[in-house]
Every structure is written in structure tokens, then in C-alpha cells.
Amino acid sequence: MKELTTYKLKLTTLSPVHIGTGEDFEPTNYVIDAGTLYEFDEVIFYKSLSDLDKKALDTKLGSGWLEIIEFYKTKKEEGKKVAIYECPVSKEIQDKYNARNPNQLMINKTFKDPNTFRVIIPGSSIKGMLDTIFKIYPPESSNEERQKLIISDALMLEGKTEIGYSNRKHRYKDKDGKGIPQMVEVVSAHSTFIFTLKSPYHFNDIQALMQKYHQDRENSRYKQDEKSFIARIGKYSGKEYMVFNGKNVTNKDGNPLATHSLFSSDTLKNEQFGWVKIEIINDENYQKAFVEIENSVQSYHKLKNEKLSETLKKIEQNKKEREEKEREKIRLAEEEKSRKEKEEYEEKVRLASMSPFQILVESIIQEGKKQSMSEIASLVKALTVDNAFENDRCEAAHYIKVKMEAAKGEWLPDGNPAKDKATKRTHAVMKILEECKKM
């Protein structure tokens, strides 16, 4: 039985790497602004909205994705404030998001720790590559040799992610590829990770097998050195990197592979996926890197908790402000109700103290106001045209005369009634007063 050896290893991405998860950035849990995707929790986002915005969003929930996305675009700042993860996107994706009627906005996520959003390369992704070169394939549970190959998840030390397009390209440049470009999140080149490998195989054996493995493949463009080996991992690496013998690999129809997937972004054009360099590091460097990762994780959690606390505090504050506004609204409504009730009561008291003639005069004046008529014009019309003062014509005429004399420019007995309305009204009242003298 071979003795197991544990190796401390550093993995460096040489080209974009995408580890598929089956999960996507969905257009209802992110916004894109100024070249950056901001992912957020939909519940927290909703709670952060004003009551007016909540109502606006509620009305769009039954209208389909596009209506909701258009609403989110108008609330980018709100989304950015509650973001739990940020990732750069290419200009092409930004432009697509900004389009009037965007579609197909699902973006494939790469594998990350759900608690810290730090990228992880699962040990299973690395083990799959080693299984191939050692010809130890799952799911043979009795495969003792495979069970002894133990690989930890690779934890990110330094690096970043970005979002671009996976394009299906023809291997012959003079031919066009097939398929719809897919938006994907990748680990950028030059990102570094650490992990451990416990194996019955010596590191030199792995290097030798990997070197032969790549010699069978025409597009193996990276070279290993004495302390490292080159590997290809993740989705879009190509079918020829999923089998031991890379020569004469065919598609499902038995024909030579004609296309492959390449990554494009603002800085890369048709770049191959999945190339990584794996090298041995000593215990001191491994422990130092591990401590750096632990410190970064702790700092992340501290900042996350502070941001979450601040966000929840603002949401609670906004809630209290809304409740206070609602209480103030109710208070003002009650005051307005009391004021109106008081006015109505005082009006009833006033009317109760008035004579029938005074009540009639008041009603005529109020009706005239509805028609934008002056008090005097309303009373004169009621007296001379409508015959509203049927039993009180003389009293009404005297009352109106007194009001006209008190008003500037209304009582004009010497004017021309054909040219002046005030004179015409004056003569009409004077006529009735003359009739009253004869009675």
C-alpha cells in the first residue's frame, strides 16, 4: 500500500474559469449601473422602498418580467444601497441591460461561498481532472485508489470575478460558430487559491502524467515548470479535456470536434476557458496565506454585519417616519373634521338667529357665488328677474339700495343704463321703489 502524502498547493488561474452551479443572477435580484452588477436580497430591497414605490412595484407584479425590470432600472440607487455582492460586467452586457426591452438577462453564476461570496474552486473540480489522468473514474465505490485521492476546496487568496460572454466559436477561423452567446460569471485570470492534496502519488508522477496529457492536445499552450503543472478545469474546457486520450476526440455524431467555447469581455477577446497553474508551496507560505484568507473572511463578515445593521436601521427609521406621517395625517384629518363640524354648528346657530328675509338673502348670495356673481348683481337679479322676493319686494328693494349706496360705484341714478350695468341695476331698483311708494 502506497503511503499517502499531503501537498500544500497554490492554484493560479491563467485564463477565465467558470465553475457551473446551476444558479443564475436573475434580473429581479440585481441592477447594473456604470459597468457593475449589484446583487441584492429581494425582500430587503422591497422593504427599503418608500410606500409609494412599493405600491408602484405591486402594480407591476402581474405585468411580466419586463415591467418589473424597467421599474428596477429606475431604482438603481436603492438596489446599490442594499447590495450584498458586486461584480464588473462588460460594456456589451451593460448596453444590453440598458436596452428598452431587454431579454435573456439570466447570468450563469460561478461557484462561491454563499456566506461570504468569495469564489471557491471545489475539490471535486480538481479531482475530476486528476481522475482522468490516473484513469480512476467514479462512481466505483470499491475504487480504493480513488478514495485515497483527497482534495480540499481551493480557497481564494487574491483575485476577482467578472461577467462577460461565452461564445460558441468554430475551431476554423474562416467558419462561423453556432449557438446563442451565454452571459457567464468567471474567475478572472491571475487569481490565486490555496488547497491541499492528499495522494498516494508523488507530485513528480502527477507532473509527468499531466505533461503527457497536454501533449495529446493541440491547443495546450501553457508549459509547466519543475515545481508546477498545468491543468484545465471547469465548464467550457472542452470535451477533449474530459477524456484520457485527447487525440481524435469526436462529437456525439462521430465527427471531429468543430466548435469550442471562448470568453469575451472588455479586456479579453475569444479567450480559452479553464487554464490553471498548480504549484507546490511550503508550509510557512500556506499557513500565511490561510491566515490572510481567514482575516479577509472576518473583515467581510464585520463589514457585512455593519452594513446589514445600518440597512435594517434605515428601514426601521423609514418605517417609524412613515408611521409618524400616518399619525400626523390622521391628526390633521381629525382636526379638519372638528373644524368643519364647528363651522357647521356655528352656521346653524347663525341661521337660527336670522329672520326668514335674511335667510332668503343669504341663500341668494350663496347661489350667486356659485355662478361667480357679485352679491349686488345676485340680489338685483333675484328681485327684478327671478321674482324671488315675491312677498318682500319693497323690503328687498330698500335693502338692496342700502347695499348699493355702501358699495363704491354701484348706486348710479344719473348714469346711462344702456351703457352701464351698475346704472341699469340702479334704475331697476329705483323703479320698484317708486312702485312701493304708490302702494
435 against 102, higher pLDDT: 435
pTM for the full predicted model: 0.69
pLDDT in tens, 18-61: 999 999 999 889 999 999 999 999 998 998 888 889 888 988 88
Q: Of 122, 95, 101, which Cα lies nearest the Cα of 111?
A: 122
More confident residue, 299 or 172: 299
The whole-number pLDDT of residue 17 equals 96
Cβ partners under 8 Å of residue 374, min gap 6? 368
Take residue 190 and report the three cell numbers written for it.
491571475
pLDDT in tens, 188-227: 999 999 999 998 888 888 888 888 877 655 556 677 778 8
- Please determine, for residue 254, whether its predicted confidence score (pLDDT) is greater than 50: no
Q: At what angle do helices 123-134 and 203-215 cross, to 10 degrees?
A: 80
Question: 191: number of CA atoms within 13 Å, CB side?
Answer: 22
For the chain, percent of residues with pLDDT exceeding 90:
33
Which pLDDT belongs to residue 251? Answer: 47
Q: Report angle CA 300, 301, 307 to the nearest 5 degrees.
A: 90
- The DSSP element (H or E) to which 39 belongs, if any, is strand 36-40
E strands, 160-258, in order? 161-170, 182-187, 192-199, 228-232
